[in-house]
Amino acid sequence: MYQFIALIQLAIFIFVMRKFLKEDGIISLVDGSKVMLMLWGGATILYNFQLSNLYSPTIEINLITFSIFGGFLILSRYTKLKNQDIKEIAREFEDDSFYKIYSILSTIIFVVGTVIFIYNVIKHGFRITASNKIDKQDMDHYGAYFVYMLILAGEIKYLLFRNYKKVIDAIIFVATILVLTLTLNRGPIGFLFITIGIYEVFNFINIKENISKKKKYSIYAGFFALIAGFIWFFGYVGNMRMEYVLRAVYKRTLWQHYGVSIMIPSGLLWVYMYLTSPIENVAYALANQHSIGNAFLSNLFYPFIKFIANIFGCGNQFKDWLISRGAYTPYLEKKVGLNAMTFIPESFQDGNVVGFIIYLLIYILLAYIAIRIIKSKKDYTPVGRILIYTNIVSILLWSIFVNSFKIPILILNIFLLLFVEKFIRVRKVKKGKI
């Protein structure tokens, strides 16, 4: 039955995307609202096809995920990126007055993050050299924040190199990828690739009218190569982390472990399981776990409530109270080690259907803000404008895995970028350039 539902959903999905591409072109692929529409619509369709025998779709989860699809479909009719917005940003790169500030900032982040990573390797050991690579590199709690700030350093260096062609920026960019790879955490690499992908689409939109068909085809090939490279890398790291566990603990192949046909390459297998297993975890939890107390939006506002509670000396009491409310648990974690659950469980714990609607509206608002920042006529630098946008898009995309309002590194990146942009504006005012 659900394969038939998937076919109907696929027909709707193709119709909607064909309409977007016909009206707006390739920019639809990086528009914040349409990205969420594609993510949740595509993941739900793939899930309903049940390419893994671990999956048991429900009507409830389909109604929830396609309400997300519908919410962003409505937003996409009210605001969207246009080619002219991107061309204006490209022209802003002609003014390089911001280069020095962003170059120094990203270099400092790179040096500090790399030193802290090396310190943690010396202190905790080098996880990538261990037989069992299932866990990420061990790092001190606060040290990890600095290491993962390398995401922002890499993003900045990539934009600077692509526009100003300084070799030092390219060297540091490659080095950030190396260090982040050694953490055995695919999330940060994913955030970095999101920025690279969005920027390259922006760049193509800016130059496509001035290049030959042959050049266009080579760029299209480059896009496909980038996607294929990311899938290969995703599979490579996944295989490396699971190799020991599959051989020594489960004693079965990757395909047997996840109940997937051996016809599917490992890279695509990992992408499929990572996109769809969170939906299965949610479907099972909502259908079978009913003893969860209402958290009254405490998950949504946890960082702020915890901060205020700490001021009044009752931070631990608040944390204990929230734990006592219970939590939805990912049943695939015990079966095959897949523990992602999307933002949906915490939204339901925070207020059932009303909580879910509040979360969805906030995600829609974030997508709207991201688009408005790109379209804004305010005095943002092109680096700030692009990176604030791409980091918000990363928050949106990671909603398929977790409550992404709780990903501190993306929030820190955005606030740091806003601070730097404010600093640059104040500096310009003092120099009389505004």
CB-based contacts of 252, cutoff 8 Å, min separation 6? 246
Number of folded domains in the chain?
Answer: 1
Q: Does a structural domain hold residue 321?
A: no
pTM of the model as a whole: 0.93
Looking at beta carbons, which pairs linking 184-187 to residues 24 or more positions away fall under 8 Å? 184/127, 184/128, 184/133, 184/135, 184/136, 184/137, 184/237, 184/240, 184/241, 185/136, 185/137, 185/148, 186/234, 186/237, 186/238, 187/398
Backbone angles phi, psi at 221, to 5 degrees: -60, -40
* Amino acid at the residue 434: I
Per DSSP, what are the bridge partners of residue 260?
A: 52
| Separation in Å, CA 324 to CA 293, 318, 327, 357 | 8, 10, 9, 24
164 or 230, greater pLDDT: 164
Per DSSP, what are the bridge partners of residue 52?
A: 260
Q: Does a structural domain hold residue 32?
A: yes
Answer whether residue 138 shows pLDDT above 90: no
Q: Which two tokens stand for residue 412?
A: 């820190």
Element (H, E) at 347: helix 344-349
Span 142-169, pLDDT tens digits:
889 999 999 999 999 999 999 999 999 9
* Amino acid at the residue 415: F
Q: What pLDDT, on the 0 to 100 scale, is given for residue 141?
A: 77
Per DSSP, what are the bridge partners of residue 399?
A: none
Answer whether residue 93 shows pLDDT above 90: yes
Answer whether residue 433 shows pLDDT above 80: no
52 or 406, greater pLDDT: 52
Considering only 169-173, 207-211, 223-227, 299-303, which range has the smallest mean pLDDT? Answer: 223-227
Q: Does a structural domain hold residue 75?
A: yes
Q: Does a structural domain hold residue 23?
A: yes
| Nearest alpha-carbon partner for 349 in 330, 320, 328, 363 | 328
| Nearest alpha-carbon partner for 295 in 355, 339, 353 | 355
348 touches 356 (CB < 8 A)? yes
CA-CA distance, 116 to 110, in Å (whole number)? Answer: 10
Stretch 69-85: mean pLDDT: 94
Instruction: State the average pLDDT for the chain.
Output: 91
Considering only 82-91, 249-258, 268-277, 412-421, which range has the smallest mean pLDDT? Answer: 249-258
Q: Which two tokens stand for residue 6?
A: 């998937």
In order, the DSSP letters of 47-62 are HHTT-BTT----HHHH
406 touches 142 (CB < 8 A)? no
CA-CA distance, 240 to 171, in Å (whole number)? Answer: 26
Answer whether residue 434 shows pLDDT above 70: no
137 touches 182 (CB < 8 A)? yes
* Amino acid at the residue 427: R
Stretch 229-245: mean pLDDT: 75
Q: Does a structural domain hold residue 5?
A: yes
215 or 257, greater pLDDT: 257
Reduce the DSSP state of residue 260 to 3 states and report it.
strand
Element (H, E) at 334: helix 331-336
Q: Does a structural domain hold residue 42?
A: yes
Q: Does a structural domain hold residue 195?
A: no
Residues 306-319: b if buried by 16+ CB within 10 A, e if exposed: beebeeeeeeeebb
| Separation in Å, CA 425 to CA 86, 101, 244, 371, 385 | 21, 12, 52, 21, 13
CA-CA distance, 16 to 38, in Å (whole number)? Answer: 10
Full domain range(s) for residue 65: 1-80
307 or 10, greater pLDDT: 10
421 touches 381 (CB < 8 A)? yes
Q: How confident is the model at residue 104 (pLDDT cuts 50, 70, 90)?
A: very high
Q: How confident is the model at residue 65 (pLDDT cuts 50, 70, 90)?
A: very high
Q: Does a structural domain hold residue 60?
A: yes
Q: Which two tokens stand for residue 18?
A: 């064909």
Question: What's the N-to-C CA distance of the chain in angstroms?
Answer: 62
| Separation in Å, CA 111 to CA 107, 108, 153 | 6, 5, 10
Stretch 291-298: mean pLDDT: 86
